[in-house]
Amino acid sequence: MSYTKKRYLTYGIFTLFILILPYITVDGKHMLMLSFEYSKFHFLGFVFDVNELFIMPFLLIILFIGIFAITTIFGRVWCGWACPQTIFRVVFRDLIETKLLGLRRLKNKQKDIDYSKKSNQFKKYIALIIWAFLCLIAASNFMWYFIPPEDFFTYILSPKEHSFMILFVITIAGFLFYDIVFWKEDFCTYTCPYSRIQSVLYDDNTVQVVYNTNRGGEVYKNNQKSIFDVKQWSSNQECTTCEACVKVCPTHIDIRKGLQVECINCLECSDACSTVMGKLGKSSLIVWGSTNSVIKKVKTKLFSKRNLAYMASLLVCVFFATAMLVEKKDFIVNINKTTQLYKIAEDKTVSNNYLFTFSNSQDKELLINMQLENKKDFEIKRFESFILKPNQRVKKVVVVKSKKRLFLSDTKDTALNLKVDIFANENRDKKQTWDLSFIYPRESLFK
């Protein structure tokens, strides 16, 4: 199977996965969704409140280190085989314009469409209409990772109440339309930062698209094309200078020139060379391999020091992210002081007020209770155990009162550290211990 067919198969699997992932749930929890409306982050069947997003940095670190590691080992395999920009361009250029409407030649991506023909002009508008419809589907699919699909389609029926969401979808669709129809591969070449950092991450062990100069000969010397006629080649130089690899390149480069930031590792040049060289009974001069394995005939080192460092970093991040998932709390608590620091009662006892916010991230009810560790000198007032419903957020004012007068300082207020245990009666083992700053007034205020 050619690389092109393998890529198309990969595109289909990747696109199908992205489309159906928002619909996959585990006990009503999505596999991946960041809901701004409900302030929830769904990940692999776990639901995190906005206050539990401490797992997000680890996921982002895993993402970035993973990109660097993959690039170092396999080059720009993401760009050619999974990037939405590449997939969308293939859908528009190769499927719609070429296969469905016959506006292009599949084996020549350098030649622009001749719109002087009226039939081509009509087909052009048909292609734009089809792509505009697909852009709306892609933009909606993007929104499903922030708004549950079941809510999304309900909101669509009430456009006035959800005008911002609809405007956002139209904006994304408009960007995709402009990007794929007008920006084209220039996005990869001039805009995408990934293409600019790839050369820093590459080394002789990186798997990439390599033109075998040992077999084909050096077409370029000092970035200048040195040979134009096949008759100038010696007997051991196999390149026919047919330019098939150049015509088929979607980013308009000549791979025989060597590593270039425009190359997205799509390997269409390798397929084109395989067709030509196959007629001569030879294998392709353009292969997917490392400089060491193709040019220098040296075994590629997968476990180099840099790769091992990437792998170790990924393992550490995965370990901490997993630990966060395992230690996920049943409920979230936020504690804030009210504007009044303290209150002195007639019996000289002192009370501090706190605002507790309880958030239930579970799909079951919890009976919330709390108790102070220092019961000898302090007690909790105005709090009774209560039922916290699934996905509910409740605010309660809690008063902590001193049981007796404390003689601490005559000149300044004193901050005392109290510990309060908060727990659900259903699972007392997972109690949460929080520090409370209890402000006790100076002695002069009692006189």
| Whether the Cβ atoms of residue 364 and residue 384 lie closer than 8 Å to each other | no
HEC readout, the chain: CCHHHHHHHHHHHHHHHHHHHHHCEECCEECEEEECCCCEEEECCEEEEHHHCCHHHHHHHHHHHHHHHHHHHHCCHHHHHCCHHHHHHHHHHHHHHHHHCCCCECCECCCCCCCCCHHHHHHHHHHHHHHHHHHHHHHHHHHCCCCCHHHHHHHHCCCCCCHHHHHHHHHHHHHHHHHHHHHCCHHHHHHCCHHHHHHHHCCCCCCEEEECHHHHCCCEECCEECCCCHHHCCCCCCCCCCCHHHHCCCCCCCHHHCCCCCCCCCCHHHHHHHHHHHHCCCCCCEEEECHHHHCCCCCCCCCCHHHHHHHHHHHHHHHHHHHHHHCCCCEEEEEEECCCCCEECCCCCEEEEEEEEEEECCCCCEEEEEEECCCCCEEEECCCCEEECCCCEEEEEEEEEECCCCCCCCCCCEEEEEEEEEEECCEEEEEEEEEEEEEECCHHHHC
Residue 343 shares a structural domain with residue 422: yes
Residue 100 shares a structural domain with residue 216: yes
Model confidence pTM above 0.85: no
Distance, CA of 343 to CA of 353 (rounded, Å): 9
Q: Which two tokens stand for residue 303?
A: 């476990």
Distance, CA of 442 to CA of 362 (rounded, Å): 44
Residue 152 shares a structural domain with residue 288: yes
pLDDT number for residue 141: 96
| Whether the Cβ atoms of residue 184 and residue 250 lie closer than 8 Å to each other | no
| Residue the block writes with tokens 């990940």 | 43
Q: Which two tokens stand for residue 140?
A: 């909606």
Residue 323 shares a structural domain with residue 368: no
Provide the domain limits for residue 355. 331-446
Cα Rg of the chain (Å, integer) = 32
Residue 372 shares a structural domain with residue 314: no
Residue 304 shares a structural domain with residue 361: no
| Residue the block writes with tokens 């708004």 | 147
Q: Answer with the one of 300, 328, 356 that is the final residue of a domain.
A: 328
CATH of the domain at 436: 2.60.40.10
pLDDT number for residue 96: 92
**Number of domain units in the chain:** 2
pLDDT number for residue 135: 96
Residue 362 shares a structural domain with residue 317: no
pLDDT number for residue 431: 83
Nearest to 353 by CA among 254, 427, 438: 438
For residue 39, how far is the Cα from the chain centroid? 18
pLDDT number for residue 341: 84
Residue 196 shares a structural domain with residue 66: yes
Distance, CA of 170 to CA of 150 (rounded, Å): 19
Distance, CA of 30 to CA of 145 (rounded, Å): 9
Identify the sign of the CA torsion 96, 99, 100, 103. Answer: positive
| Whether the Cβ atoms of residue 217 and residue 295 lie closer than 8 Å to each other | no
| Residue the block writes with tokens 């007008």 | 182
Q: Answer with the one of 312, 328, 344 that is the final residue of a domain.
A: 328
Sequence-distant (6+) residues with CB within 8 A of 122 are none
246: left (phi over 0), alpha (psi -120 to 50) or beta: alpha
Residue 76 shares a structural domain with residue 24: yes
Q: Answer with the one of 298, 313, 328 that is the final residue of a domain.
A: 328
Residue 231 shares a structural domain with residue 142: yes
Residue 161 shares a structural domain with residue 289: yes
pLDDT tens string for the chain (447 positions)?
889 999 999 999 999 999 999 999 887 888 889 888 877 888 887 777 766 667 778 888 888 888 888 888 888 888 889 999 999 999 999 899 888 988 877 666 767 777 767 778 888 899 999 999 999 999 999 999 999 998 999 999 888 888 999 999 999 999 999 999 998 888 888 888 887 787 788 888 888 899 998 888 888 877 677 655 545 555 567 888 888 999 899 888 899 988 888 888 899 999 999 999 999 899 999 999 888 888 888 888 878 888 888 889 889 988 888 877 776 777 888 888 887 888 888 888 899 999 998 888 777 888 889 889 888 889 888 888 888 888 788 898 899 998 888 878 888 888 889 999 988 887 777 788 888 889 888 888 876
Residue 105 shares a structural domain with residue 253: yes
| Whether the Cβ atoms of residue 41 and residue 35 lie closer than 8 Å to each other | yes
pLDDT number for residue 44: 82
